[in-house]
Chains A and B, each alone.
Chain A
Amino acid sequence: MSLLEIENLSLTIGDTPILKGVELSVAPGEVMGLVGESGSGKSMTALTVMQLLPHAARASGRVSFDGIDILAATEDQMCALRGDDIGMVFQEPMTALNPVKTIGEQVAEGIRWHTKASRAEAEDRARKMLDRVGLPEAKFPLSRYPHELSGGQRQRVVIAIACALKPKLLIADEPTTALDVVLQAQILDLLRGLVSENRMGLLLISHDLAVVTEMADRITILRHGEVMEAGDTARTLSEQLHPYTRQLALASMHVPARAKAHSTGQGKPLLEVEGVTRDYPGRRTSLFKPAPPIRAVDDVSLSLAPGQSVALVGRSGCGKSTLARMILALDKSTSGTIRFRGETITGRSEAELKPARRDMQVVFQDPYGSFDPRQKVEKLVAEPLHVLEKKPTSAERREMVAHALHEVGLGVSDMDKYPHEFSGGQRQRLSIARAIITRPKLVVADEPVSALDVSIRAQILDLFAELNQKLGIAYLFITHDLTVARAIADEVLVMHDGRIVERGKTGDVLDHPQSEAAKALVAAAPDLHRAIARRMQEQG
């Protein structure tokens, strides 16, 4: 007997169909993985079960939970279910908690509401739950506020809220997407433990096939609001009967075809970083004593040859983005020197930096946030042209933009569109076009594909590889995702606590990590092949 049964569920928001005849079930103690690309209707399926849909949404079909008809339930009935029998964990831990309430209040609130327990009893239970999710009292008293916790710790609090009353069903919507791989492994482990302890059903929503394969007993693959394929995880993914399943699996393991890496080590290096350190002022603990500084980057040295592709990998907060900002001369180093094309760029004025800026560009993670929505593509892509020595005429400018768009696989007609007319992947192409328009020698890319769906991500990685071959651009990829490093980098630098703890050829480092930090990253990184193999083995 299933705990959650979704039959022929269709959903429209206004006139837009979102879900078409979705079928899905979760049994007690079972992990059901719901996989799909963005916009496929995964989250809307979850919100339908919770009845937390936007106002204009209309659902039809049947959703039954533990014998209750969810689509016909009143708001009062739903309030009784939510947080008690059905818990939900969301994607973004940084914003999922109320900033003005303590974590104790927020965990205890649901307990008090549903059980009518006294404040003391509820706080007692909240305390036990926080202990269970790995936030012990000594370091994390109930009186902590969310801003005092890191992203992974906040996600633990959200899980504590969702699981405080031992729900029969937990819905986790991309619970680890915003976390680095090591935290992801820890959170997945926690969820697995909670499932087996309480025979809780888990509906795990993710775009990451490897994560779902590691976790789920059964899998449902969603595309454009329709179920493409559903069944036993190991069988579905090993047989890959449905073409879309095969496409997803291939895309998530995609490695762009690259000719031999550019010859490295010969001639002058393009970028040299020598003993760079960056201190930030620490938090004052006393009015009279100066605060000890926080060292974000600690005595880092590296060099990059022209045309070389290097990945800087590490967990969130290890200092990799700070280092990237200093290389781009967007942040000043506390000590050390950075040389670009043989010229020192540390301690230079903005005017002196202009020639260097022409040769180094940047691609950011979020293709949505990095464009002004009120400007046309022509102007957006032409932005870096102001660093050119001679201002191009408007005809020249159009010509250059058209060329850059062509190189990233977009058309000339896209020039007069606005950013919102493009999909996420196309927008990332736009930011790459913007980065290469000045013909730079170095592109720094900060998590350039982590916000993208697997198939789009494969295309963008191909594009990076192609531009590397064609234009000889050197890359510095900042990422916590080892598959990106494996796909595109000649060399890997592993960063931990502000220091580079390991460096070497990509294959060597990822297959035979030496340092603790590198080992932890490799062990935690989800891998589709490994996950399928393990599943097959478990099932004999």
Chain B
Amino acid sequence: MTAYLLKRLVIAIATLILASMVVFAVLEILPGDPARLMLGLNASADQVELLRDQMGLNAPLVLRYLHWVGGLLSLDFGRSYTYSVPVIDLVRERMAVSLPLALIALALSTVIAIPVGLYSASRRGRAGDTIAMGAAQLGVAVPNFWFALMLIYLFAVWLRLVPAGGFPGWSAGVWPALKSLLLPAVALALPQAAILARVARSALIEVLNEDYIRTARAKGLPYRAVLWRHALRNAMIPVLTILGLQFAFLIAGTIIIENVFYLPGLGRLVFQAITQRDLIVVESIVMLLVVAVIAVNLVVDVSYAFVDPRLRGRQ
């Protein structure tokens, strides 16, 4: 078990290092001089050069990379050019919106997908299965921003149950804050749930054909008990894999959804930072998202070992 976990950890760290190099390199190659951008069009070449020196932009590439990584590790992400505040403050503030949003969406998609998958798999080929999978097909096909607009129209404009957008801040109380995150979370979760439900269904159908399911039935367990006790856990392995992979798409989805709902989250921040060439902010947030995706996949790898004893090895 320890050997397996250690190996996963080493792989995660190696991926992280590689990703940081790529992020750094891409922003190096991109056109646009941050110093010139900050000083405006009227600045003289000397002024720009001076600022570049001050910002450390003239140092050798390797040094700048190490400096940047060192900063990331000590949570010193630098200062935003456009907001003139430390990036870490921006991130902290925006994270309070994006992190709960992503977590709610992830939980929601799992909670929807697994029962739908179970239901469909146990009713394979019958009307219920066809309807559930038809809905899932629709969920996969419909883009989440359009879906978000429909949700706003239905629940905010028509039923007036939740606000159409914006975020009151956690200081306004937990419930109002959660309420304004609800629609965006649903909009994010449903397409994910649709994919996940299809994966869960096919994984379950495969497992239900296994010999050990027949053994369990021969013990006298009713079909439902066999489904929950024997089939589900075995079907979790492919479901977990997809869940880990989907997390990256979920993060990408927040950029769109936060814009649709006017949420002051990381997604919106990174979108604005890109349009304003606030490269330090972009770098920092992209790295943060990379860390999040890698961490989630590490968690998935660890949970494999919990689900499947064959990965744990002999104790």
Chain A residues within CB distance 8 Å of chain B: 50, 52, 75-76, 79-84, 87-88, 90, 92, 95-102, 106, 109-110, 113-114, 145, 147-148, 158, 161-162, 283-284, 287
Contact A99 B219 (CB under 8 A): no
Take A100-B309, A147-B309, A284-B3 as given contacts and tell me if A109 and B219 are in contact as well, using a CB distance cutoff of 8 Å: yes
* Chain B interface residue number, banded: 20 to 34
Q: Which 10 A-B pairs have the closest CB atoms?
A: A83-B220, A83-B219, A110-B219, A82-B220, A95-B211, A88-B218, A98-B212, A145-B309, A96-B211, A147-B310
Contact B221 A113 (CB under 8 A): yes
Chain A residue numbers with a CB within 8 Å of B210 are 95
Give the distance in Å from the alpha carbon of A97 to the alpha carbon of B216 in the complex.
Answer: 9
Name, among A100, A158, A161, the residue most crowded by chain B CB atoms within 10 Å (CB to CB): A100
Chain B residues within CB distance 8 Å of chain A: 2-3, 6, 210-212, 214-223, 225, 229-230, 233-234, 307-310, 313-314
Contact A110 B220 (CB under 8 A): yes
Identify which of A79, A80, A81, A99 contacts B234 (C-beta below 8 A): A99
- With CB as the reference atom, state the residue of chain A lying closest to B312: A145
Take A79-B220, A98-B230, A113-B221 as given contacts and tell me if A158 and B215 are in contact as well, using a CB distance cutoff of 8 Å: yes
Take A148-B314, A287-B3 as given contacts and tell me if A50 and B218 are in contact as well, using a CB distance cutoff of 8 Å: yes
Chain B residue numbers with a CB within 8 Å of A113 are 219-221, 225
Give the distance in Å from the alpha carbon of A48 to the alpha carbon of B44 in the complex.
Answer: 91
Contact B309 A97 (CB under 8 A): no
- With CB as the reference atom, state the residue of chain B lying closest to A283: B314
Contact B310 A145 (CB under 8 A): yes
Identify which of A82, A145, A283, A287 contacts B219 (C-beta below 8 A): A82
Contact B309 A98 (CB under 8 A): no
Contact B217 A82 (CB under 8 A): yes
Chain B residue numbers with a CB within 8 Å of A80 are 220
Give the distance in Å from the alpha carbon of A95 to the alpha carbon of B82 in the complex.
Answer: 62
How far in angstroms is the closest Cβ of chain A from B176? 43
- Chain A-chain B contacts (Cβ-Cβ < 8 Å), number: 83
Contact B220 A161 (CB under 8 A): no
Contact A98 B216 (CB under 8 A): yes
Question: Looking at chain B's contact residues, is the secondary structure mostly helix, strand, loop, or mixed?
Answer: helix
Give the distance in Å from the alpha carbon of A84 to the alpha carbon of B220 in the complex.
Answer: 7
Give the distance in Å from the alpha carbon of A97 to the alpha carbon of B221 in the complex.
Answer: 15
Provide 9 A-B residue pairs closer than 8 Å at the C-beta atoms, listed in order of the A residue: A52-B218, A90-B211, A90-B214, A90-B218, A99-B212, A101-B230, A101-B233, A113-B219, A114-B220
How far in angstroms is the closest Cβ of chain B from A74? 11
- With CB as the reference atom, state the residue of chain A lying closest to B217: A52
Give the distance in Å from the alpha carbon of A80 to the alpha carbon of B222 in the complex.
Answer: 9
How far in angstroms is the closest Cβ of chain A from B115? 20
Give the distance in Å from the alpha carbon of A100 to the alpha carbon of B214 in the complex.
Answer: 15
How far in angstroms is the closest Cβ of chain A from B4? 11
Take A82-B217, A114-B220, A287-B2 as given contacts and tell me if A95 and B212 are in contact as well, using a CB distance cutoff of 8 Å: yes
How far in angstroms is the closest Cβ of chain A from B207? 10
Give the distance in Å from the alpha carbon of A121 to the alpha carbon of B44 in the complex.
Answer: 87
Give the distance in Å from the alpha carbon of A457 to the alpha carbon of B44 in the complex.
Answer: 93
Give the distance in Å from the alpha carbon of A87 to the alpha carbon of B2 in the complex.
Answer: 40
- With CB as the reference atom, state the residue of chain A lying closest to B210: A95
Chain A residue numbers with a CB within 8 Å of B217 are 52, 82
How far in angstroms is the closest Cβ of chain B from A463? 32
- With CB as the reference atom, state the residue of chain B lying closest to A110: B219
Chain A residue numbers with a CB within 8 Å of B229 are 109
Identify which of A84, A87, A99, A110 contacts B309 (C-beta below 8 A): A99
How far in angstroms is the closest Cβ of chain B from A156? 14
How far in angstroms is the closest Cβ of chain B from A163? 12
> Can you name 5 extra interface pairs (CB under 8 A) apart from A96-B214, A96-B215, A161-B219?
A82-B219, A97-B212, A99-B309, A100-B307, A158-B215
Give the distance in Å from the alpha carbon of A514 to the alpha carbon of B239 in the complex.
Answer: 55
Chain A residue numbers with a CB within 8 Å of B223 are 75
- With CB as the reference atom, state the residue of chain A lying closest to B218: A88
- With CB as the reference atom, state the residue of chain A lying closest to B306: A100
Chain A residue numbers with a CB within 8 Å of B220 are 79-84, 110, 113-114
Chain A residue numbers with a CB within 8 Å of B314 are 148, 283
Chain B residue numbers with a CB within 8 Å of A158 are 215
Take A95-B211, A99-B309, A147-B309 as given contacts and tell me if A83 and B218 are in contact as well, using a CB distance cutoff of 8 Å: yes
Chain A residue numbers with a CB within 8 Å of B218 are 50, 52, 82-83, 87-88, 90, 162
